[in-house]
Structure 1
Amino acid sequence: MKIVMNEQTSLAFNLAAEEYMIRNFKDEIFMLWRAGPSVLLGKNQNAYSEMNMDYVREKNIQVVRRMSGGGAVYNDLGNTNFCFIMNDNTKVLTDFTRFTTPIIQVLKNLGVDAAFTGRNDMTIQGKKFSGNAQYRIKKRILHHGTLLFSSDIFDLSQSLNPSPTKFSDKAVKSVKSRVTNIKDHLKDPAMDIHTFREIINRHIMTLYPDATYYTFTDQDIEAIETLMQEKYLSWEWNFGTSPSFNLMKQQKFPGGVVEVYADIKDARIANIQFHGDFFGHLEVTDLEKLLIGKPYDKNTLELILRDLDVDAYFKNISADEILKVIFE
């Protein structure tokens, strides 16, 4: 394993670095990284419905879309992200606890009672400090997550605009009430994020005794910056096109929130897009292309979906549930 020492604080650079490594390195990887004030969108999310765009623009907060599914998360220099890239011969997303357990072990060693909860969160006393996601490329899997250490919770709460469908519990008042910083729970309140990151790296080294430290070469950086410019700083990747739709529906399932935007013309699907915080290891855009031109008819779409591995596009969401979003 390589433990990558990376001090870059550009969100776009760091996401490009992750993709560069999963595609080009053969070694397994662990990397911590930070980014300045920014919003990190899940691959399938509608950018305009997930953020307070006025606040994001006013504060010059960067917006970048990642390769993995899941929900939007806020970054600043009080947050550290962790990334595992592992060789994996399966064709599905894997158990998140495989990758969150080392982080929870670090926190328990520091006297913090952290736990993995729900689909993809780590929490302290019921409050979230980490969101996690995964994606696969060929026989490698990338798992990454946030770790709120001393982030600006006000900026976080103002930047994100969670769907009311996602949080239907009336007792939940705000983003601010649902999240917490790790630093607030440490026995040593003087610990800073740099020390915290060092402790994590040392723990990973104990788990993987053959691991070596690695810093990006000039060649690595050149390739990463090219990918950053061509993809992660492009408007097309981060915001994409927003065609007009005459059907917009949304439902929450145990596997996540699914939003459907469709343009129905002459009883056929002229355009359709799926957004949400769901996971999946196949491209949902491929499913969208398959449905375009088909009759807007439940029986027709049911036959199409029955022949597909719907779970590959929407993990833990069934064909019946997808039909429910589209037609109910």
Structure 2
Amino acid sequence: MKYIKTNWNIPYYNFALEEYLMTEAKKDSYIFFYIHKPSIIVGKHQNTIEEINKEFVEENGIIVARRLSGGGAVYHDEGNLNFSFIQKAQKQDVNNFEKFTRPIINALKELGVEAELSGRNDILVDGKKISGNAQYYKKGIILSHGTLLFNSDMTNLSKALKVKDLKIKSKGIKSVRSRVVNIKDYIENEMSIFELKEFILNYISENVDIEEYVLNERELKRITEIAEEKFSTWDWIWGNSPEYEIQKIDKFPCGLIDIRLNIKNSKIKDCKIYGDFFTKRNIEELETFLHDKTYEKESIKRDMKNIDLSDYFHDLDLEEFIEFLTL
């Protein structure tokens, strides 16, 4: 097995490394660990907007990223150790989380942490979650990766993943929130997250031959390209969300506005505006104008810069309307 030492603390680059190792690198077994700046990581099939507290995320500079694998949204920060296994596999290995979590669980037990695999893909201690795991399989290669909550900020975790009470109907896979706990609370001796990483790596090396693999300049350049061209893009993070419907209702000086939107591939595919407001022009004109627009604040702001909103909503500022319209 090849061990790759990485220093990226931005999720886009570690996810790009995973894709590179699965699709372009020499077919081998790999393991690497990573620690991210505060980030929310959504599963491949999730609707990003349903998984995050967007206001809290933006105010606190929390990164939003989408991974290759399915499963639910998770919170990463400097107290969260993440691991990735990539190796050749058969289809029957898919969803075999026991195979990939067993070395992690056994290493934790060596530290006195009575961890166990529970359900399909979670590692628990005292019935509380310390690790979520997910997989991605493609052309005979499997990626199995997971989190280890070592000393994560539980307050930020709960706030970042607490979505506002909006009326959203989605075809995306919603996360199921679990009770979580930090591993550090169960370790008797003082230990840093970096020492935990070394301990797990050394434990695995007792049973598997591990040699360090150093990425060359060409590989690093290619990984950077994948990160910048795919994983850090708006299209991948937000535009990849499944079709969903949303209703926004608020009271303004012009009256009550009730907007119903159908969003597909991050485009407004249907828009209906209801309320008790008065208009100078037919409201259907604005509904038609919004059709097929990218459902993103800055994009809509550019599209609507020449619209005289007073024709539709008296005394309503364009900035205020866009803030209301978008998430």
Task: Please say if residues 6 and 215 of structure 1, whose CA atoms lie closer than 8 Å, have aligned partners that are also in contact.
Answer: no
Match of 1:238 in 2: 237
Instruction: Say whether residues 1:84 and 2:115 are aligned partners.
Output: no
Q: Which amino acid aligns with 1:180?
A: V
Structure 1 residues 18-167: aligned runs within 5 Å: 18-25=18-25, 26-90=27-91, 93-161=94-162
Root-mean-square deviation (CA, aligned residues, Å) is 2.7
Q: CA deviation digits over 1:2-52, x for unaligned, max 9?
A: 011112111111111111111122111111111111000000111111111
Match of 2:198 in 1: 198
1:89: Cα distance to partner? 2.9
Q: Which amino acid aligns with 1:229?
A: E
Q: Secondary structure of 2:41's match?
A: strand
Distance 1:244 1:117 in 2: 31
Equivalenced residues, count: 244
Task: Please say if residues 122 and 131 of structure 2, whose CA atoms lie closer than 8 Å, have aligned partners that are also in contact.
Answer: yes
Q: Secondary structure of 2:71's match?
A: coil
1:220: Cα distance to partner? 1.4
1:216: Cα distance to partner? 1.9
Q: CA deviation digits over 1:117-141, x for unaligned, max 9?
A: 1221111101111110000120110
Q: Which amino acid aligns with 2:224?
A: E
Q: Which moved more, 1:59-68 or 1:215-224?
A: 215-224
Q: Secondary structure of 1:207's match?
A: coil
Q: Which amino acid aligns with 2:103?
A: P
Q: Secondary structure of 1:8's match?
A: coil
Distance 2:104 2:243 in 1: 43
Q: Which amino acid aligns with 1:196?
A: L
Task: Please say if residues 4 and 213 of structure 2, whose CA atoms lie closer than 8 Å, have aligned partners that are also in contact.
Answer: yes
Q: Which amino acid aligns with 1:207?
A: N
Kindly tell me: are residues 246 and 9 of structure 1, through their superposed partners in 2, closer, same or farther at Cα, counting changes over 3 Å?
closer
Match of 1:178 in 2: 179
Distance 1:98 1:243 in 2: 31
Distance 2:45 2:218 in 1: 31
Q: Which amino acid aligns with 2:139?
A: K
Kindly tell me: are residues 162 and 111 of structure 1, through their superposed partners in 2, closer, same or farther at Cα, counting changes over 3 Å?
farther
Distance 1:153 1:224 in 2: 31
Distance 2:122 2:96 in 1: 13
Bigger radius of gyration among the two: 2
Distance 1:195 1:92 in 2: 30
Task: Please say if residues 86 and 144 of structure 2, whose CA atoms lie closer than 8 Å, have aligned partners that are also in contact.
Answer: yes
Q: CA deviation digits over 1:73-101, x for unaligned, max 9?
A: 00111111111111013366231110010
Distance 2:153 2:229 in 1: 30
Q: Secondary structure of 1:178's match?
A: coil
Task: Please say if residues 54 and 163 of structure 2, whose CA atoms lie closer than 8 Å, have aligned partners that are also in contact.
Answer: no
Distance 1:24 1:243 in 2: 28
Match of 1:215 in 2: 214
Distance 1:153 1:180 in 2: 8
For structure 1, the residue ranges without an aligned partner over 5 or more in a row are 168-174, 249-260, 264-269, 272-328
Distance 1:163 1:138 in 2: 39
Structure 1 residues 272-311: aligned runs within 5 Å: none
Kindly tell me: are residues 107 and 161 of structure 1, through their superposed partners in 2, closer, same or farther at Cα, counting changes over 3 Å?
same
Q: Which amino acid aligns with 1:235?
A: W
Kindly tell me: are residues 219 and 152 of structure 1, through their superposed partners in 2, closer, same or farther at Cα, counting changes over 3 Å?
same
The TM-score normalised by the length of structure 2 is: 0.69
Distance 1:135 1:244 in 2: 22
Q: CA deviation digits over 1:253-304, x for unaligned, max 9?
A: xxxxxxxx989xxxxxx99xxxxxxxxxxxxxxxxxxxxxxxxxxxxxxxxx
Q: Secondary structure of 1:225's match?
A: helix
Distance 2:95 2:120 in 1: 12
Task: Please say if residues 89 and 139 of structure 1, whose CA atoms lie closer than 8 Å, have aligned partners that are also in contact.
Answer: yes
Distance 1:241 1:87 in 2: 27
Match of 1:4 in 2: 4
Match of 2:17 in 1: 17
